[in-house]
Every structure is written in C-alpha cells, then in structure tokens.
Structure 1
Amino acid sequence: MGLEGKHSFGSIGETRVTFVEKKINENRKDFLKRLLEHNGFEVIIQEEKRKSEEDPQLYTVAVTDMVFNPTVWVFQRKLKTFDGHKVTQDYWNQVSEDTNPHYWKFAD
C-alpha cells in the first residue's frame, strides 16, 4: 500500500481506527507495529481472511488515533526512527535505512 494522500479510516471490531496499510506481509506488519508504537501510537493488527491454507497470511495495520495520516506524518517529519532520526519516505517504505532528508539524488 505504501504512502497515499488519502486518509483511510473505519473499524476493526468495535474500535474506530485509521488504517495505515492493508494486505501486507508479516515482516512489514512487524516493522510498522514497532515503528508506530515507538512513536506513541496504539496499534491494532487484523489478519486478512485467506482463500485457502496455502495462501500467505496478510495483515492490516491500523492505529486508534483518528487524525493520524501516515503521508502527512512522514512528509512533515513527525515520526522518529528507533535511533532518534526523522523517518523519511524511503525509511517508511523499507527501501533504505538512510535518514538523510534529500528526496532526490545528485550525480557526482
């Protein structure tokens, strides 16, 4: 799912939530859960229904903060990494652990 401009919300069980990402694998779920909890959010995980036992288990990650929008928080640099740096788009998408704020690369 990645970062989208749209604020997606709904319910998981009886709890109103903001959806962070849907239909993601376990590794991505664990990363987002740890990162969001580190930043003070209450995280709710829901397992997606599988069509068969052979299909991989996918998850939905959500937070109870109804005004949280991942895109806004990443680009306004409000989220912190585990070592105190600001989360960049590449860090959020697990493309790079580099937290340098440049969103483009210059040729040498």
Structure 2
Amino acid sequence: MAINKYHQVGEIDNVRCSIVEQSIDSKRAEFLKSVLTLNGYEVVVAQKSDDAFDVGVTDLLFNIQMAIYGRYLKTKEGKVITPEEWKRMA
C-alpha cells in the first residue's frame, strides 16, 4: 500500500510502473504519452477496453502530484505545465 494515495504502483502490460491515469480516452492517452516522453519518462500505454486506456511510467518513484505541483513537467516550448493546464489539456 502506498503512503501517498496518489502514488499508485501497478502493472501495465506486465511492466511494473507508476500509474499516471487509468480508464481514459485515446486522445488523453496520446497527450499524456507525448508530454511524459518529452520530459524523459519511459511511458507504457495499454488498452483496457474499446475506448479505455491506462497510462504509466516505468520510473517507480514518479508521482504525478509531485510532478505537476513541483513544476517538473514542461511543454516542448519549455513552458511549465500548471495543474489547470494538466486538467484541461488533451
């Protein structure tokens, strides 16, 4: 059990990883994959059903809350992704 409930570790396609988001649509999954890959993370995406995807990164210490509020994630232009932008982007 994780100390922080927002830091989930699980398996996606038999790869142990930190879960970023679960049961999201393909557009959101592609957005997350592009942002996380751009920021140097190895991303794992798996399709659960027809239009539901799970996204994770292989870095087991990755915590999405820390990454967003710590201002670690950036766009390709170098702009910091804020919590508001994270929620509305896709």
Name the TM tier (shorter chain): 0.7 to 0.9
What's the counterpart of residue 58 of structure 2? 64
Quick check: 6-15 or 71-80, which moved more?
Answer: 6-15
Any conservation in 1 of the 2:12–2:54 contact (CA below 8 Å)?
A: no
Task: Spell out structure 1 runs of 4+ moving beyond 4 A.
Answer: none
Aligned partner (choices 54, 78, 88) of residue 82 of structure 2:
88
The runs of 5 or more residues in structure 2 that have no matched partner are: none
Any idea what the Cα deviations from partners look like across 1:51-90, whole Å, max 9, x if unmatched?
A: xxxxx51100000000000111100101111210111001
Any idea what the Cα deviations from partners look like across 1:26-52, whole Å, max 9, x if unmatched?
A: 110010000000000000001113xxx
Structure with more of its chain in helix, by fraction: 2
Which has the higher Rg, Structure 1 or Structure 2?
1
1:8 partnered with 2:2: no
* Number of corresponding residues: 86
1:40 partnered with 2:34: no
Structure with more of its chain in strand, by fraction: 2
Higher relative contact order structure (alpha carbons within 8 Å, sequence separation ≥ 6): 2
Any conservation in 2 of the 1:19–1:63 contact (CA below 8 Å)?
A: yes
